[in-house]
Amino acid sequence: MSRLVVVSNRVTLPGSKSAGGMAVALNAALRRKNGLWMGWSGKVKAEEEPSALTEKKVGGITYALTDLSQKDLEDYYYGFANQVLWPIFHNRADLAEYSEARKTAYYRVNEMFADQLEQVLRKDDVIWVHDYHLIPLAEKLQQRGCKNRIGFFLHTPWPPADILFTLPHYHTLLRGLSCYDLVGFHTENDRNNFAECLRRQEMGDLNGDECRVYGKEFRCDVFPISIDTAEFASLAERDAERDDDLQESFDRLAGFDVAIGVDRLDYSKGIDQRIVAFNRFLRSNKHRRRKTVLLQITPKSRDEIPAYQAMQKDVAELVGRVDGELGTVGWVPVHYINQSLGQTELARLYRRARVGLVTPFRDGMNLVAKEYVAAQDPRDPGVLVLSRFAGAASELGEAILVNPYDGEDMASAIEMSLDMPRDERIRRWTPMMERLREYDVYRWCGDFLSSLEPPRGSMGSLDRPRQ
């Protein structure tokens, strides 16, 4: 059996607070294959010379960690990856701040990853590369003579051709993806956008899931990422009274209808428009005032980037205005929490909320939508209000789909959700939950690896942890 090698910008070590469903599934696959997970350690070093890999072995998995220099962090991670690729991939070319120095750093760090990975690779390893930070990695490995099977999964959307073409040297990204044996996207729309980029530049074409670029054939397929559905549902069912902090939160929300939003602070999430829509809902439905609250949980993100600093200020000021104009001594319409919460606390809050507001302008998938569905009480589920521009909309069509740019549409959806009778809520929730149970994160991981590996290495029956 070939060894699995996972490569990502960051590595999630066992026991980490950030270990979500994807990390759990990857660790399960790595344990089964005596695998290796390589990526940035999270440490920043002063010197710019590459450092040696630091290896840790835990539970049969080898974690190979590398440090980044301060210059790499600023130009590769915060610079090209998150101030160029991230906005372009989320259709915000107006926010992209391209520079040759940033592009050079991006390819330099990918060269470094290739150099270090080459030292620990075995000839029959199967390599799975994750996300936009490392698109050129397969090309860099092949330049070093690597003949291993290499797959790539993009966790963000892939933009339309006219958006991608605003990026100088965009063709180098297309060429980099052509060096993989399998490229995975969340949705058919993402794959179609990728194919359109190739056709428009006469670089290649997509026929079914077979793609040809520069005379090289590889596969492009759709693998919608999911969550550990059973585990998340179990977390939501646990007795909140056993947790004093959580019980205090529940006491403060007692007697109110709760709409919940959970988003990392990012301009792609539509947080400010959601708050404006909630304000509009309250102004149009005076009978809902002092009875309904929006619980918006928004951990800070990428504080080093000016656009995120400005957004943090704007959202906080908006919340203050809404609460100041509509709030009373006993009622605060918007509860704004600017920190991360644990999975158990989130799951219980999802279950408590009558409405889940997931309204990004653009999102690759958005697992919050799936977590909200998984956390609901089957006998009395809440209603998911979901942006039609989130990847999850292609799977969760029974949600109330909205245009996140249209505040009136979102305000009406909140009203419709709160008025919806229980039998209709159950009718909408049931097929979504069945879908999540069938296609959970273990199925996602197994399907991708089955498609990447030779037939003898099927991973389609990847075992789930026992509950």
| Residues carrying an active site annotation | 155, 363
> Are 176 and 184 contacting, i.e. CB atoms less than 8 angstroms apart?
no
| Strand residue runs (E) in 46-86 | 54-58, 61-69
Could you give phi then psi for residue 139, rounded to 5 degrees? Answer: -60, -40
**H helices present in 294-337, as ranges:** 306-326
Q: Answer for the pair 448, 153: CB distance below 8 angstroms, yes or no.
A: yes
Task: List, in sequence order, the alpha helices (H) in 334-377.
Answer: 343-352, 367-375
Let me know: does 345 contact 304? Beta carbons within 8 Å: no
Nearest in space to 294 (alpha carbons), one of 272, 267, 309: 272
What one-character-per-residue DSSP string does 273-296 give?
Answer: HHHHHHHHHHHH-GGGTTTEEEEE
The closest of 399, 13, 429, 460 to 233, measured between CA atoms, is: 429
Q: Which residues partner with 207 through β-bridges?
A: 210
Tokens standing for residue 369: 């939508």
| Cα 130 from Cα 40, distance rounded (Å) | 13
**Cα separation of 467 and 461, whole Å?**
17
Token pair for residue 318? Answer: 């908006």
The Cα–Cα gap between 124 and 137 comes to: 18
Give the single-character DSSP code of 354.
S
Tokens of 209: 């899931």
391-427 core/surface letters (b: 16 or more CB in 10 A; e: else): bbbbbbebbbbbebeebebbbbbbbebbebeeeebee
Name the helix (H) or strand (E) containing 427: helix 422-438
